[in-house]
């Protein structure tokens, strides 16, 4: 089974078939489904569970960093051929962090000591033995026993880290499956509902496409005027020149008091979000397969669903707060709907999501096969391999969260448009 088989079976292959979910159907066709007319766009489009794992991934990364420090410190001591009390203190500090700064407390809670009695403080662990046995300067004193203790503590920390990598990977996979299952059901409902409302809206105004609706708001104000409104006018708080601010004010005044005025205000509230604004500009007016959530941008391979790191091109900054494409208009968004590109965008992101799930499965399998070797030459190789598996799992989580955020941003915009079409039909 390929990475995209599950997607192709449910949504169709965007490369092999013409997108049809949101294509504008012939006017007059009846919609045959039982989806209720009320909006369902807010149903399950946000990534709720994946971000809840952020703290666990931060802790995991901290453990990994400390284990690398332990490996480096152990290698440094072994290479020097001697050990000092300062070395022991440094090693024990790392080990304590790896174990969560645990102390050996009394086995059972005791009553507060009576007057005159002294309480017994918790006994601090000494993973490297009695520090007084080591010399101030590096020497051979207790050197070989120290190497054995370091190796033993390293193996325990490595085994513990491997267990947490597997546990967190499996937990992420379970949560990711639950998250996307809800989204799949929601996407199906959304596609049906939106398609119904497009049909109803176009029938109401006897039009064949969303960009050229036969509608006039007043003697001077026509549908084409709404379609030509630049999206930057929906973000007047960021316009830094007087002419642009005046145009935004005039535009709002022209539509004030109408259903279209409410639509513009609602759309403006949505586009106040910088991340949403960037996502929509990239998706609708740029590259439909590019995912821009977070510090990294990814390009989804349409053939495989693989998200590959995309290198920014400074010569074209679509979505940059200071620049706007000439085609970035409300009409551009309506045109995006009419061509069915929204369906392709969803298909692409679902494929990438499934690809990431497979990466997690492969990483779990590889991590599970790693063993703690007795040969010192393989210690670093095994640790590097484990850290690579953990890094792939972490990156997969980041990408899946960004994919869900992308789709959530798109449907937030289209919820506003959907409600507007319903209002215009009343």
pLDDT of residue 33: 39
Q: How confident is the model at residue 304 (pLDDT cuts 50, 70, 90)?
A: very high
pLDDT of residue 313: 57
Q: Give percent above pLDDT 70 in the chain.
A: 75
With a cut of 80, say whether residue 47 has pLDDT above it: no
Does 135 map to a domain?
no
Overall domain count for the chain: 1
Does 176 map to a domain?
no
Does 67 map to a domain?
no
Mean pLDDT, range 341-360, rounded to an integer: 90
pTM of the model: 0.74
pLDDT of residue 363: 96
Mean pLDDT, range 206-214, rounded to an integer: 86
Show the domain range for 206: 5-30+40-48+189-424
pLDDT of residue 1: 38
369 contacts 239 by C-beta, under 8 angstroms: no
Does 139 map to a domain?
no
Does 272 map to a domain?
yes
Does 71 map to a domain?
no
- Kindly report, residue by residue over 94-115, the tens digit of the pLDDT: 988 888 744 344 444 555 556 6
- Kindly report, residue by residue over 212-270, the tens digit of the pLDDT: 888 888 888 899 999 999 999 999 888 888 888 899 999 999 998 889 999 999 999 99
Does 359 map to a domain?
yes
Q: How confident is the model at residue 379 (pLDDT cuts 50, 70, 90)?
A: confident
Which has more confidence, 42 or 351? 351
Does 151 map to a domain?
no
With a cut of 50, say whether residue 13 has pLDDT above it: no
């Amino acid at each position: 089974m390929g990475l995209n088989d599950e997607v192709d079976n449910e949504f169709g292959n965007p490369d092999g078939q013409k997108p049809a979910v949101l294509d504008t159907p012939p006017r007059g066709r009846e919609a045959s489904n039982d989806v209720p007319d009320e909006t369902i766009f807010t149903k399950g489009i946000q990534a709720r569970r994946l971000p809840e794992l952020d703290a666990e991934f931060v802790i995991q990364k901290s453990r990994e960093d400390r284990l690398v420090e332990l490996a480096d410190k152990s290698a440094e001591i072994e290479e020097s051929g001697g050990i000092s009390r300062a070395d022991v203190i440094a090693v024990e500090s790392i080990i304590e962090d790896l174990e969560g700064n645990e102390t050996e407390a009394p086995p059972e809670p005791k009553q507060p000591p009576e007057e005159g009695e002294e309480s017994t403080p918790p006994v601090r662990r000494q993973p490297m033995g009695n520090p007084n046995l080591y010399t101030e300067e590096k020497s051979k004193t207790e050197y070989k026993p120290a190497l054995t203790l370091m190796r033993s503590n390293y193996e325990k920390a490595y085994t513990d880290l491997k267990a947490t990598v597997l546990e967190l990977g499996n937990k992420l996979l379970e949560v990711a499956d639950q998250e996307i299952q809800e989204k799949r059901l929601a996407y199906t409902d959304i596609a049906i509902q939106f398609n119904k409302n497009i049909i109803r809206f176009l029938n109401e105004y006897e039009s064949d496409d969303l960009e050229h609706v036969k509608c006039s708001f007043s003697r001077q104000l026509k549908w084409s005027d709404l379609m030509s409104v630049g999206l930057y006018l929906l973000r007047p708080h960021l316009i830094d020149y007087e002419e642009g601010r005046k145009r935004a004010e005039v535009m709002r005044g022209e539509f004030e008091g109408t259903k279209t005025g409410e639509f513009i205000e609602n759309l403006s509230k949505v586009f106040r979000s910088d991340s949403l604004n960037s996502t929509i500009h990239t998706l609708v007016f740029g590259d439909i397969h590019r995912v821009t959530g977070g510090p990294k941008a990814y390009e989804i391979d349409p053939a495989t669903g693989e998200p590959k790191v995309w290198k920014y091109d400074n010569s074209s900054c679509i979505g940059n707060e200071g620049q706007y494409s000439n085609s970035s208009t409300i009409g551009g968004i309506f045109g995006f709907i009419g061509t069915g590109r929204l369906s392709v965008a969803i298909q692409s992101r679902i494929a990438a999501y499934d690809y990431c799930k497979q990466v997690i499965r492969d990483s779990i399998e590889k991590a599970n096969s790693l063993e703690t070797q007795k040969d010192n030459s393989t210690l670093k190789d095994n640790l590097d391999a484990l850290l690579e598996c953990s890094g792939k799992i972490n990156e997969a989580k980041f990408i899946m969260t960004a994919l869900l955020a992308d789709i959530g941003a798109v449907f937030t915009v289209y919820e506003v448009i959907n409600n507007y079409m319903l209002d215009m039909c009343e």
